[in-house]
Amino acid sequence: MSSQVEIIVRNSTPLLIGWYDPLKTDPQGLRATEIKGLWRWWSRAFIAGALYDKGLLLGRYSNDVLLEPTESEVECISCLAGKVLGLGFTGKNEAEASRFILYTEPLKEPVPKPCRDGLQRIQLLTIGKRGRGGHAKKGDVECQYIERGHIFKIAVEKRYAKYRDGEELAIKILLAALQLSGLGKGSRRGLGSLDIENISNFSLTVTNLKELIKDIYEGCTNIVDTHYDECCKRKTATGKTETVNFPPPMPVMSKKSVDNLKISQVIVAGNASFEPIHNFFVRTERCKVLYKNPRCFDELRENLSAWVLGLPRIQRRREKGRGKEKETWTGYETTVSRRASPILVSYHSDWNMFGKGALISIFISGDWPTELTWSKPEPREGTPRPKRIKVDFNVLYKAYRAAIGELTKYLERLNFGYSSIWP
């Protein structure tokens, strides 16, 4: 690869990159730190997937979380992704800065627009300075976002070479990350998606995203085979690996299944439009499509499984009674810190060199809290009625099946043809 790779991108969905004022958008449009974070996340997911498929990523049970990576597993993944791929890492005994310098440049200065887009996630996340639950109050100041169609250059410069196999693989992972995820607020719901229009100074031997993901997975498998002993405390001289019967302790790109569920999968809906895909995660919008009724009890609600779409999932209700207005909170809460959604959405237009359509990535992992609280107000009093939910692997698999089943029915009801490109 050349010492500097240039990627020309165009945002295909509204872009909300925060600034010093969270209601305003960064005038740069894209921030290098946002892209680096996305790059590292997907690098860890691919490396960890190769480890998991070889039986080298097992995790451990804790009182609060079903499965979490062990300290040595975290060090191993960090070294392989940070040292060998070149993205930088800090370990117990050594540390290394990233071998890549990344910067962004708008090819035309983006003009921020007020957040009046009809997308549900923009309304929930960004209109006004919000209290708990994300609801706007009277007098709130409106936010800003960058509308679709702005063009940016992402430049990646290699400071020096150390592991050629890892550094070339890292660039491929960056390209996949820009295809599979958005940037900024609401990125897991497709906001901030970027079409890749051109790549300079880097030669790709694949012609589509399916081949690119397969090529990356094989490259990560080779990295693990070659550099595992160098990076990881646990040696593989015997060549033996453990049989894994549980999900991984973190989101990974794996070829395996557990309980007849794919550990990871990427679905493409080539003829989909963005707004309906984006709004699947809002129950009222989902119910309109599935049951033609915004107040339906879908499978996720019926089984109290909507937490699998991400935590916390709470909303504020105002109840009037006895001449006073009472505020209550309903939904799913946990004492564990926020657990992001395991379903990632991105959307690409005709400008994208890898093709048009919605991309939906689904990850099954064990890093979920062992206990949740679901609160529902009593119909008359408005008093929350808490219900404790114990989460084990069977409950987890049932929740995933409900979510995946609802999603596929939703796509079919909208006549969005879809197919799997991974595994």
pLDDT in tens, 347-383: 999 999 999 999 999 999 999 999 999 987 655 555 6
* Structure tokens that stand for 404 in this block: 């995946």
For 239, phi and psi rounded to 5 degrees? 75, 5
Does residue 134 register a pLDDT over 60? no
How far is residue 245 CA from its own chain's centroid?
24
pLDDT band at 21; cut points 50, 70, 90 = confident
Separation between Cα atoms, residue 195 and residue 12, nearest integer Å:
6
CA dist 330 and 377 (Å) reads 7
Judge whether residue 3 has pLDDT over 80. Answer: no
Cα separation, 45 vs 179, in Å, equals 15
Whether residue 135 has pLDDT greater than 70? no
CA 289 to chain centre: 24
Q: Which of 13-22, 176-185, 268-277, 329-338 has the lowest mean pLDDT?
A: 329-338
Q: Provide CB contacts within 8 A for 260, sequence distance 6+.
A: none
Q: What integer pLDDT is reported at residue 129 of this predicted model?
A: 45
Residues in the chain: 423
CA 377 to chain centre: 31
In the predicted model, is pLDDT for residue 320 greater than 70? no
Mean pLDDT of the chain: 88
206: which residues sit within 8 A by CB, 6+ positions away?
A: 212, 215
Amino acid present at 78? S
Identify residue 262 by its one-letter amino acid code.
Answer: K
Pick 140 or 254 by higher pLDDT. 254
**pLDDT higher at 62 or 383:** 62
Residue 22 has pLDDT above 80, yes or no: no
| pTM for the model | 0.91
Q: How do residues 149-206 score in pLDDT, each as one tens digit? A: 999 999 999 999 999 999 999 999 999 999 999 999 899 999 999 999 999 999 999 9
User: Binning pLDDT at 50, 70 and 90, where does residue 109 land?
Assistant: confident
**pLDDT confidence band for 94 (50 / 70 / 90):** confident
Delimit the domains of the chain by residue range.
4-422
What pLDDT, on the 0 to 100 scale, is given for residue 247?
97
Q: What is the pLDDT of residue 182?
A: 97
Output 117 or 222, whichever has higher pLDDT. Answer: 222
Report residue 127's pLDDT band, with 50, 70 and 90 as the boundaries.
very low
How far apart CA 226 and CA 170 sit, in angstroms, is: 16
Q: What is the structure's pLDDT at 363?
A: 98
What is the arithmetic mean of pLDDT over 293-322? 80
Give the per-residue pLDDT at 328. Answer: 57
Residue 11 has pLDDT above 80, yes or no: yes
Residue 15: what pLDDT?
Answer: 93
Question: What confidence score (pLDDT) does residue 29 get?
Answer: 86
Q: How far apart are CA 84 and CA 365, in angstroms?
A: 25
Residue among 252, 251, 223, 234 nearest 86 (CA): 223
User: Residue 316 — pLDDT band, cuts 50, 70, 90?
Assistant: low
The whole-number pLDDT of residue 115 equals 76
Phi/psi zone of residue 323: left (φ > 0), alpha (ψ -120 to 50 degrees), beta? left
Average confidence (pLDDT) over 12-39: 88
Centroid of chain to Cα 347: 13
Tell me the CA distances in angstroms from 212 to 60, 179, 183, 272, 342, one per residue in order.
32, 11, 21, 22, 22
365 exposed, middle or buried (CB, 10 Å; 0-12, 13-18, 19+)? Answer: buried
- Does residue 67 have a pLDDT over 90? yes
> Above pLDDT 70, what percent of the chain?
85
Cα within 13 Å of Cα(170), Cβ side:
30
* pLDDT band at residue 121 using 50, 70 and 90 as cut-offs: low
What is the rounded average pLDDT of the residues 2-28?
A: 87
